[in-house]
Structure 1
Amino acid sequence: MEFLEVGHNPWLVVISLIVALVAGATGLSLTRDLSAKSPSQRRLAIALAAIALGGGIWSMHFVAMLGLKLPILFYYDAAITLASALIAILMVALALVLLHFTTRTKRIIAAAGIIVGAGILAMHYVGMAGMQLCRPIYTVQGVLGSSALAIVLCIIAIGVAYNERSNRTIVIGTLCFGIAVFSVHFLAMAGTNFVALENIREFGPVISNEVMAIGVILSSFVIFGAFLWVGTTYLVPVQTPAPRPDVDVDAPVEKPSALLRLPCERDGGKVFIAAPDVVFLRADGHYTQVYTLSEKYFCVWPITEAVKRLEPIGFLRVHRSYIVNPRMVTRFERTKDKGQCTFGAAELPPVPVSRSNLKAAQDAFG
């Protein structure tokens, strides 16, 4: 079996790395601060981030493949090429759903990294299967080396980017992601040989390098456009609104408790609940359930954010998962080393008081 001579266009190699880095920056930036957004907004952001990251994996691969130099003319199967893009996007989407709709533990972060790494590998080898008039021949070292590198680097990228959601960690995570996609491709290619075929193994329509170039340019244009759009969030400072001319600046200031509104959702619509109307809050994963005397709402704040905002205005944390409005508590009962708070509305459930919070509850309720 005679192997073909292989070379690469150095400019397209560099461009493929840039595409991978830009896709990583775009996707990881789109998932910033999702805990402060509604479920519908989170779903949209995750879908866009999956397209950016998965589409970036696909675009990087085929930018590099456009730079592949073989002594024969070769084509791509359009159906297999499209399938490779969908695989990358769906695998990344699965990882992002795990990260943003489950309790984010070290195991979840590692699982997400493994899924993204597997998505890069699956996209690469499915994309290579679409080549026509030549056939890739893989070596064991190339497959095992690229697989190990993809999983390790993607676990590092997700771990860094999601350990602490800051601009610095997003930049580091972007570098890890871009290097992962880039190095996996070229390590796999270093362990791949090519042989010429006489016939086209047609599964779907066949496309040439010229048509492929148009598709890659369009996908890269979308990714770079999204990057510029996301980049404005880093550049535009938060503006403090100026006082309205019709407001008396010497008028008495309303109490913060009356001004604070909790961002909530119910029946798909947004509502803002005044803090004095809240009876208690209960942790619900990364979010909270807000109870008033007559209604229950979904709040985008995690319990830690609710504690930070509500304790300064008089709310009391009585349990790891509960915060109560002391003004709404009608009865406090202690049973051995625990307790519970009850409220005026019969339909409201009692709220448990944990042993660690018992003294603070006794001091508050007598």
Structure 2
Amino acid sequence: MQILDFTHNPMLVFASLLVAMMAGFTGLSLTKGLSDRPIAQRKILIVLASIALGGGIWSMHFVAMLGLQLPILFYYDAAITLISALVAILVVGCALLILHFWKRTRGTLVLSGVIVGLGVVAMHYLGMSAMELCQALYTPAGITLAIIASCGLNVAAFAIAYGKRSQRNIIVGTLFFGFAVFAVHFVAIGGTSFVAVDVRSEVGPLISNEVMAIGVVLSSFVLCGAFLLTGVTVLAPSGKPPAPVPVPAPEQPPAPLAPHGAQQIPYEHEGRTAFIDSGAVVAIRAEGHYTYLYTATDKLFCVWSISEAEKRLAPGPFIRTHRSYLINPSHVSGFKRLKDNGVCHFETTNLAKVPVSRSRLKDVRDALGV
């Protein structure tokens, strides 16, 4: 077999780098502030970010492949090409789920970066296997170097972008992510040789370079649109600042409700962790592995589980009324007995009543004096 000579179109090489950068910025920006959102919204935004990042990995690869100039005509297998795109999106989605639903630690950042790094490599070699009438030959050293470069650069990208969720870190993380996808492709290509083959082994219909160009242009156009919309949202000055979360003023702390005084409870707001005195919290409700804090006017997201909240706030004013609720009896405005259970009523904006289970009924009535 004769090894084919190949070159690259410099303009398309540069375009592939821009596509990777735009995808990185769009995906990482969409995930900013997810900790403050309900779980359903978080899942939707993670799906969108996965499509942006995974689709960007795929688009970058095939923009660069359009710039690959070989002395023979070759095609792409449509089924394998589609699978390579889905693999990239799925792998990125798994990494984002870990980052936004697990406790974020150095270990989870490294794990997420390695998952995406391996996904980028898998997408690259799957995309290369879609070539028909032309076969790519790899060297063990080239594959190993591509894996090391991909995992290392993606770990750095996620460590920077998620180490501190500021706009500056997202931009720097974008540069690392874009360069990671770009570098892995050309590191892998550097360890690849091409030979012409006569046998076709297609799984699905064939795609010519012209049809592939149309698909890549369309996907890149969508990425550009998402990039512009995200950039405008991020960079546009807000006409009115968001209303601050009410926190008791330092000069007027709430009256101690326990022998040790009011404790501080952490909550997530605009990408940072803030604190509120336990005395200002009306009730705590479980939401999966996390909780929501209810005050007189607000509903705040807390990374504690309901069991952790009960443990950390004991001894204190809170009592368990139900497997999903802790309440502060001093804020209860009414109580109603319902056969073998009950209901506590509150005069708050986001929480009108809390159920009391049969096993907790006596403790609640004793605390309320009824």
Aligned equivalent of 1:45: 45
Gaps of 5+ in 2: 242-251, 255-266, 268-277, 305-311, 319-326, 333-353, 365-370
Matched residue type, 1:327: S
SS in 1 for 2:2: coil
Residue matched to 1:19 = 19
What SS does structure 2 have at the residue aligned with 1:301?
strand
The residue number in structure 2 matching 1:150 is 150
Superposed CA deviations along residues 197-239 of structure 1, whole A, max 9, x for unmatched, are 1132221100100000000000001111001111122222222
Runs (4+) off by over 6 Å: 282-286, 320-324
Residue 280 of structure 1 and its aligned partner are, at CA, apart by 3.1
Cα distance change, pair 327–321 in 1 and its aligned pair in 2 (3 A): closer
Check the 8 A contact 2:317/2:329 in 1, yes or no: no
What is the Cα deviation at residue 279 of structure 1?
3.2
- The structural deviation recorded for 1:12 is 0.3
**Counterparts of 1:70-109 in structure 2 under 5 Å?**
70-109=70-109
In 2, Cα distance between equivalents of 1:326 and 1:165: 36
State whether residues 54 and 89 of structure 1, in contact with CA within 8 Å, keep that contact through their aligned partners in structure 2.
Answer: yes
Query: In structure 2, do the counterparts of structure 1 residues 279 and 136 end up closer, same or farther at CA, with 3 Å as the change threshold?
Result: same
What secondary structure, in the 3-state scheme, does the structure 1 residue paired with 2:80 have?
Answer: helix
CA deviation map 1:115-165 (0-9, x unaligned): 100110010000000000010000111100010000011111111111110
Q: Structure 1: where are the runs of 5+ without partners?
A: 242-254, 258-262, 264-274, 293-297, 305-316, 330-343, 352-366
Distance 1:321 1:148, change over 3 A: farther
Cα distance in 2 for residues equivalent to 1:94 and 1:213: 29
1:40 counterpart letter in structure 2: A
Match of 2:302 in 1: 302
1:225-278 CA distance string (max 9 Å, x none): 00111112222222238xxxxxxxxxxxxx9x9xxxxx9xxxxxxxxxxx9995
Q: Answer yes or no: is the 8 Å Cα contact 1:98–1:108 preserved in 2.
A: yes
Q: Give CA-to-partner distance per residue, 1:7-58, whole Å, 9 cap, x none.
A: 0000000000000000000000000000111111111100000000000000
Bigger mean CA offset, 89-98 vs 231-240: 231-240
CA distance in 2, matches of 1:4, 1:277: 72
Other-structure match for 1:360: none
Identity of aligned residues (%): 53
Corresponding position of 1:288 = 291
Q: What is the alpha-carbon distance in structure 2 between the residues aligned to residue 218 and residue 233 of structure 1?
A: 23
What CA deviation, in whole Å up to 9, does each residue of 1:317-345 have, x standing for no partner? 8469997757349xxxxxxxxxxxxxx99
Contact 1:35 1:286 in 2 (8 A): no
Query: Following the alignment from structure 1 to structure 2, what is the Cα–Cα distance between the partners of residues 345 and 285?
Result: 18
> 2:202 corresponds to which letter in structure 1?
E
**Corresponding residue number in structure 1 for 2:110:** 110
Would you say the 8 A contact 1:283–1:303 is kept in 2?
A: no
Q: 1:236 to 1:199 in 2, by over 3 A?
A: same
Q: What secondary structure does 2:237 align onto? A: coil
Amino acid at match of 1:221: F
- On the 8 A contact 2:293/2:302 being kept in 1, the answer is no
Would you say how many aligned residue pairs link Structure 1 and Structure 2?
292
